């Protein structure tokens, strides 16, 4: 019983809930304030072999339906017979039913459920939104009963889960690099994830479900720039210049992956700045790009650097002079070594 304001009495009165009909009734005037309410408490049922209460086995009525599974997760499961359990059915009959069900059981659906659990673990470890988990599970469900792709236990299944998370991040424009995903995946390498990503790509394309940005990078420029620069403690003015420079770099042919280009741009902008210089070692650690790769990317960007770096941040001649001095110092160190 709880106290609410009755619409008929116009005052606070005690309301009585009739659980058999699902009605909320005013205790003063008998007015039905709400009909057919839904009870969100647990639905406990007792599956006992006898009525004397000695074999009480309270269980929930089951998990919610899962639309990503062909059975909807509503299949009947016949358990193994217990040694000392009393039952109207003989143990031999239960064992026969148990073996018969295992023969016709969809074992691939069990792997799908296991993959869903692993996908949930990866997304929680990366602190990703539930939309990523839902999309990744939806991608995995495409493998249920597919003629050309069969699920396998172990490392291959874990790699598929990691690749599905990677694909979901790319589709929903959320930046998570393959290295970040591989660090939380169990027993899989970057090569395994890339291989399964190609399998997912071909599967989605065969179903005419185009993956947005199939040839694009897994990273989203704006978010990654904010994340990397935050770790490097770079100012807002430099962050704005880095974002513009990375966007302009897409108009030029620079044979480097987007993350290497981003690391190189961060290095260039930070060294043009007088107050936000960052060592190449720190940039390499944050961006997860090798120092030599950053140096080579800077050299590749050099011919078009004056057009990439915003004019409001630095003059063209200053950009060219600064980069020429930096590259010359690298070459001199290399020659002396």
- When mean pLDDT is compared over 76-80, 218-222, 252-256, the highest value belongs to 252-256
Span 116-120, average pLDDT? 89
Buried b (16+ CB within 10 A) or exposed e, 235-248: eeebbebbbbbbee
Task: Decide if pLDDT at 73 tops 60.
Answer: no
DSSP run (H or E) holding 58: strand 58-60
Span 301-306, average pLDDT? 86
Percent of the chain having pLDDT more than 90? 1
Q: How confident is the model at residue 72 (pLDDT cuts 50, 70, 90)?
A: low
* Residues sharing a CB contact under 8 Å with residue 24, sequence separation 6 or more, in sequence order: 15, 16, 17, 18, 32, 33, 34, 35, 37
Helical ranges in the chain per DSSP H: 91-104, 107-125, 130-141, 155-171, 178-184, 190-206, 221-232, 236-249, 258-272, 280-287, 291-301, 305-308, 316-336
Q: Write the pLDDT tens digit of every residue in 25-39.
A: 888 888 887 777 776
* Residues sharing a CB contact under 8 Å with residue 172, sequence separation 6 or more, in sequence order: 129, 131, 132, 135
- Tokens at residue 27, please? 């205790």
Span 278-294, average pLDDT? 86
**What pLDDT does 85 receive?**
55
Task: Decide if pLDDT at 316 tops 50.
Answer: yes
Q: Write the pLDDT tens digit of every residue in 41-55.
A: 655 655 555 555 555
Task: Decide if pLDDT at 94 tops 60.
Answer: yes
Q: How confident is the model at residue 234 (pLDDT cuts 50, 70, 90)?
A: confident
Taken as a whole, the chain contains a residue count of 337
**What pLDDT does 67 receive?**
67
Q: Write the pLDDT tens digit of every residue in 143-179.
A: 766 555 666 666 788 888 999 999 888 888 887 888 8
Chain Cα centroid distance, residue 114? 16
Q: Write the pLDDT tens digit of every residue in 181-196.
A: 888 888 888 888 888 8
Q: Write the pLDDT tens digit of every residue in 55-66.
A: 555 555 555 566
Nearest one of 135, 108, 110 to 122, comparing CA atoms? 135
Helical ranges in 28-106 per DSSP H: 91-104
- Identify whether the C-beta of residue 108 lies closer than 8 Å to the C-beta of residue 151: yes
**What pLDDT does 130 receive?**
87
- Identify whether the C-beta of residue 33 lies closer than 8 Å to the C-beta of residue 42: no
Q: How confident is the model at residue 121 (pLDDT cuts 50, 70, 90)?
A: very high
Give the CB-side neighbour count of residue 319, counting CA atoms within 13 A. Answer: 24
Q: Write the pLDDT tens digit of every residue in 124-150.
A: 998 888 888 888 888 888 776 655 566
**What pLDDT does 176 receive?**
80
Task: Decide if pLDDT at 205 tops 80.
Answer: no
Q: How far apart are CA 33 and CA 30, in angstroms?
A: 9
Burial of 252 by CB count in 10 Å (0-12 exposed, 13-18 middle, 19+ buried)? middle
**What pLDDT does 333 receive?**
66
**What pLDDT does 215 receive?**
41
- Tokens at residue 238, please? 């430099």
SS3 44: strand
SS3 231: helix
**What pLDDT does 86 receive?**
56
DSSP-derived letter for residue 255 is: -
Span 114-120, average pLDDT? 88
Q: How confident is the model at residue 222 (pLDDT cuts 50, 70, 90)?
A: low
**What pLDDT does 306 receive?**
83
Give the CB-side neighbour count of residue 306, counting CA atoms within 13 A. Answer: 10
Give the CB-side neighbour count of residue 197, counting CA atoms within 13 A. Answer: 25
Query: Average pLDDT, whole number, for the chain?
Result: 77
Span 17-25, average pLDDT? 80
Q: How confident is the model at residue 210 (pLDDT cuts 50, 70, 90)?
A: very low
Neighbours of 4 (CB within 10 A): 13
**What pLDDT does 64 receive?**
59
Task: Please provide residue 51's backbone torsions phi and psi, each rounded to the nearest 5 degrees.
Answer: -100, 0
Q: How far apart are CA 7 and CA 37, in angstroms?
A: 18
DSSP run (H or E) holding 315: none
Q: How far apart are CA 254 and CA 269, in angstroms?
A: 18
């Amino acid at each position: 019983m709880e106290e609410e304001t009755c619409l008929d009495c116009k005052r606070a009165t005690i309301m009585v809930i009739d659980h058999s009909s699902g009605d909320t009734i005013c205790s003063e005037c008998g007015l039905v304030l709400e009909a057919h309410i839904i009870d969100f408490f647990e639905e406990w049922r007792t599956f006992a072999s006898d009525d004397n209460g000695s074999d009480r086995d309270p269980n929930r009525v089951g998990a919610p339906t899962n639309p990503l599974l062909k059975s909807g997760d509503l299949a009947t499961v016949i358990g193994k017979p217990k040694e000392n359990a009393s039952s109207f059915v003989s143990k031999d009959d239960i064992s026969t039913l148990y073996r018969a069900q295992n023969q016709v059981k969809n074992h691939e659906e069990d792997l799908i459920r296991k993959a869903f659990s692993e996908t949930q673990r990866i997304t929680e470890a990366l602190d990703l939104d539930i939309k990523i988990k839902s999309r990744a599970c939806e991608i995995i469900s495409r493998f249920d009963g597919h003629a050309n792709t069969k699920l396998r236990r172990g490392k291959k299944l874990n790699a598929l889960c990691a690749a599905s998370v990677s694909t979901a991040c790319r589709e929903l424009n959320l930046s998570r690099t393959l290295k970040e995903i591989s660090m939380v995946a169990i027993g899989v390498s970057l090569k395994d994830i890339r291989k399964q990503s190609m399998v997912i790509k071909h599967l989605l394309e065969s179903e005419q479900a185009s993956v947005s940005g199939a040839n694009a990078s897994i990273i989203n420029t704006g978010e990654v720039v904010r994340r990397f620069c935050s770790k490097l403690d770079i100012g807002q003015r430099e962050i704005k210049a880095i974002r513009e420079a990375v966007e302009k770099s897409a108009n030029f042919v620079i044979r480097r992956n987007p993350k290497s280009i981003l690391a190189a741009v961060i290095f260039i902008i930070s060294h043009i700045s007088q107050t936000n210089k960052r060592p190449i070692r720190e940039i390499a650690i944050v961006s997860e790009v090798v120092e030599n790769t950053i140096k080579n990317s800077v050299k590749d960007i050099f011919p078009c650097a004056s057009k990439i770096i915003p004019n409001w941040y630095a003059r063209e001649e200053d950009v060219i002079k600064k980069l020429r001095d930096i590259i010359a110092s690298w070459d001199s160190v290399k020659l002396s070594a």
